[in-house]
Amino acid sequence: MSEPVSDSATDFPIITLDGGAATGKSSTARGVSQQLRFLHADTGSHYRALTFLLLRKGISPEESDELTEALEEMKLSAEVDGTLASLIADGKKLSPEDLRSLEVNRNVSSFAALPPVRNRLLRYQRWHRELALEKGFLGLVIEGRDIGSVVFPEAPFRFFLEADESTRIQRRSEEGQEDSVAARDKADSGRKTAPLHCPEGAIRINTGNYTLEEVISQICQKVQNDSDALQ
């Protein structure tokens, strides 16, 4: 894994999707990636994977020499299945059950607030542009909480998804998950390093006002109309 040539998407279309918990980022990114033949990277799963692995090592969510050493020793790569790129840490791909466990839900925001964790993943996340090019995709759609503000701040297609709390709680319940969306949003918005916020110039979409298909269509139409690479 090498440093990407550029974090600008002027020559290769990159879509950033930011937003709080359960605003529909993953479902939207998955649909957009399939329609446009873009690689899909879910950075939330990156933080979940590191949270799971660090907890397994008995490391608590606070800065320490033990945390830094564990992060430095991790070897990160990716496995591409269809349009989705999944994080591989030390040769292992975690299951959805591991990534969405109650223990991970309770600790992921605390780990994600730590600069060593964010710095370890920043270069890895930017590398997905090269991965998308290498695998022959037409672009990259990458979702998270600081993508349009920190990871790819110059991407021309930046969106911020939002929905009211009751809608998001219902979505988590329908997925069979216990996840305090308000508490996670507060933690992610209040952290000092790369806080959750709508990037300047990003297009806001209230996903509670539209069906999933309508949200996907809005984004695809915007990208197809404005991207020379897809003409």
Residue ranges for the binding site?
19-27
CA 124, CA 222: separation in Å to the nearest integer? 27
Contact call for residues 120 and 127 (beta carbons, < 8 A):
no
Query: How far apart, in whole angstroms, are the C-alpha atoms of residue 212 and residue 216?
Result: 6
Which segments are annotated as binding site for ATP? 19-27
Instruction: Count CA atoms within 13 Å of residue 154 on its CB side.
Output: 8
Contacts of 19 (CB under 8 A, 6+ apart): 25, 145, 160, 161, 162
Which H or E element spans position 160?
strand 157-162
**Residue whose entry in the numeric block shows the structure tokens 């590191």:** 50
Query: Which helix (H) or strand (E) element contains residue 104?
Result: helix 102-112
From the list 12, 40, 25, 11, the residue with the least C-alpha distance to 141 is 40
